Amino acid sequence: MSPCFNGLVMVSGGMHIPLVLEGPSPKTISTIGGLHQMLGLHEYGYAAVPRDSIQCLPECSSTNKMGASFETPCGRSLIKPVEYIEMISSMRPNLWTTLADEVPAWVSDKRNKTSVDRTVKWLDECIAKSPVNVAGGAVFGSIVGGSTIEERQRCAQEVAVRNVSGYWIGGFGLGESMDERPPLLNTVTDKLPEGKATPYFWALDYQNLMNLLEKPDIYIILLKGRFIVVEEILQGVAAGVDLFDSVKDTTPIVEGCSCYTCKNHTKAYINHLLNVHEMLAQILLEIHNTHHYLGFFHSIREAIKEGKFEQFQKKFVQSRRDHLAASVTSV
Amino acid sequence: NFVMALSFEVLGRFNRARAAQLTLPHFVCQTPLFMPVGTQGTIKGLTTNQLEEIGCQIILGNTYHLALRPTSELIDELGGLHKFMNWPRALLTDSGGFQMVSLLHLADITEKGVTFQSPVDGKPMLLTPEESIQIQNRIGADIIMALDDVVKTTITGPRIEEAMYRTLRWIDRCIAAHKRPHEQNLFGIVQGGLDPVLRDICVRGLVDRNLPGYVYFPSMNSVHVQGQNVIGLNSIQPFRIYAIGGLAGGEDKDSFWRVVAQCTAALPEDKPRYVMGVGYPLDIVVCSALGADMYDCVYPTRTARFGTALVPEGVLKLKHKAMADDTRPIDPTCACMVCKNYTRAYIHCLVTKDAMGSQLLSYHNLYYMMQFSRNLHSSIIEGRFPEFVCDFLQKMFPKGDVPEWVCNAMEVAGIDISSCCAPCPSSQD
Ligand SMILES: [Zn+2]
Ligand SMILES: [Zn+2]
């Protein structure tokens, strides 16, 4: 839940907060004045979701009818809808998603069905219990259903008739194959009313993202930028640029990039920081990668607005192929 | 018509304390000043932009670490450390000797230099005074340090004397090897352990060597010094060790300030005096009162890693349970970015599990040290240094229990601190 240091990182867009990680108590956050105050980033939008894809994963075997369970660095933790709403109320995010029972692809049909029932029930409870004036932010209804078309459909239909501002499509990244995702996603979006925002939430690389974006009317307003970023940092890669090869390279990560990192530092320096395990390596990469992803989404939005998304996608996939080919031949 | 790598102008004094302007190739610094330690060309996840914002004037790099990775040859090839890390202000590198003796068990010191086992391939390697200077010439810092014969403080007897004389012999070799005197200032190091006689011989030896190097500017109270002969002062290991372990004992502190007092009294008035490895605000106040100008220490950033913030009252432990619900800033009187934006409660939850906790604390702690240095400087200039010292001691020792060694040092420094000391039966006046 690191926010960006000194406003350097986020140039626009939203931010994602996993809720279950041990942090200040809801009461303390409320006293501080909510997330915007606590993180000192007043001008940014915050989206609150109960999980993320690295440090706070849904743990379906411990989830029960009382609430959803998550595996976190501080141990397993069960959150009931009422507690969840208390957290939301104290944080005052700009938008938040309802509590979901997310299950992996391999669970039985029965368990998958239960997860849809619970998610819909918790959605009603969350809405009923949320003090409108306190939470304030827009509510996004969670949609699950695992890898079953029928359950996905059922869940989407149920949620679509509720009074929510948007939809959060969950239950991905839990063991389903990559090929399964587009039809499942299409099933869901087909059932949802037009004109409402639908974040799809899972750590994607570019390639996967583009494969999923077959339907350009899916509004991706939020994608977990930070964690993609982190995964790549761990591999010493900055948005596709391999830094472990750049001992003497005095160019920036991306020539012409306007981020703080590229305006101020060379690949050689970042390479050194990575080699000696200095914290600044991650900070600089996070700045660049976040900047890069926000720019990427900006381009997607522009392409959709201008009705040129298909060209954008083709061009993008081609450039990724060229990049891959280039890196193969250079080895 | 030679280029000068350094000028030092005393702007104000209070007895032995001085406030000065130190002009280095990359920055005009105000002293007394604190130099944060950026061992590997970076400081605790802070960007160079932030370090400027904090007010850092000189950053210290460790020659030993930089020579290992990314290597001084590479730094040289890429245009020097300033360019490599994109730091526009001043830099200082140490000689590398201290790291070898303290980090490597197998270091062996002979007249040639320091022999040590390479941490890369385990082969024996030799660092000579010449090589230390060559490496530092390649790194390109504004201030470089002469290789000294470092002796563990636990050692007594003739070895101390040997080390002192060897340090003097080595400084001649360093001076001879120094290839960039117009761009880099070589600081000599006073050795001699805790023995006042040896310290005195060493100081005089360095002062003698210094003679050909400097030129008086008669119109001002300033002296311009040609690069290679500036004197520094090193009260070395005990204080580094204190900084790391926080193990300062009363009698050790007493020898500490006495050595500083002796050296500052004997060193030329017109040269900067650098006390290596000192970083506790209290120690800095004492050394400044005795006439020292420059300090470096890992303390502010290291203590941040363990969740400790520096505040006027001493320290604040952010890991403490009481911080979990505390919605105040770290220090309500601090104007730093962290204190303006974050609460103790938020930092409390970060320090236990996220690197950002120590990063925020490092930011605050360095800001605290810089603000503290600025206040030292201006209080001396404005003739209210004793008030500054008393105010500082009052906040740190509200009960008036100022340690006796501080009282003793202040007496020698001619600073009246009676207003903030409780009457103490053991103190003799
Ligand atoms: Zn960039
Ligand atoms: Zn502060």
Tokens of B191: 């050795």
If pLDDT is split at 50, 70 and 90, which confidence band does A236 have? Answer: very low
User: How confident is the model at residue B187, as a pLDDT?
Assistant: 85
User: How confident is the model at residue A304, as a pLDDT?
Assistant: 76
More confident site: B86 or A182: B86
Q: Just list the catalytic residues of B.
A: 94, 296
User: How confident is the model at residue B400, as a pLDDT?
Assistant: 94
Chain A residues with CB-CB distance to B353 below 8 A: 22, 73-74
Q: If contacts are CB pairs under 8 Å, which of residues 337-376 in chain B contact chain A?
A: 337, 340-343, 345-346, 348-350, 353-356, 359
Section B143-171 average pLDDT? 83
Q: Which residue of chain B is at minimal alpha-carbon distance from A266? A: B84
Chain A residues with CB-CB distance to B354 below 8 A: 1-2
CA of B334, nearest ligand number: 2
Q: Which of B64, B82, B343, B354 is best to mutate for the A interface (most A CBs within 10 A)?
A: B343
pLDDT tens-digit profile of A124-162?
999 988 866 444 678 888 999 999 999 999 999 999 999
If pLDDT is split at 50, 70 and 90, which confidence band does B429 have? Answer: very low
Q: Is the pLDDT of residue B239 over 60?
A: no
pLDDT tens-digit profile of B357-400?
899 999 999 999 999 999 999 999 999 999 999 999 999 999 99
More confident site: A53 or B128: B128
Q: Is the pLDDT of residue A328 over 50?
A: yes
Distance between B78 CA and the closest CA of chain A, angstroms:
7
pLDDT tens-digit profile of A247-300?
899 998 888 889 999 999 999 999 999 889 898 988 888 788 778 777 777 777
Q: Which of A1, A6, A280 is closest, CB to CB, to B337?
A: A6
If pLDDT is split at 50, 70 and 90, which confidence band does A6 have? Answer: very low
Please tell me the pTM assigned to this model.
Answer: 0.86
User: How confident is the model at residue A171, as a pLDDT?
Assistant: 85
Cβ atoms of B232 and B273 closer than 8 Å: yes
More confident site: A314 or B129: B129
CB atoms inside a 10 Å sphere around CB A180: 15
Interface check B71 vs A, CB under 8 A = no
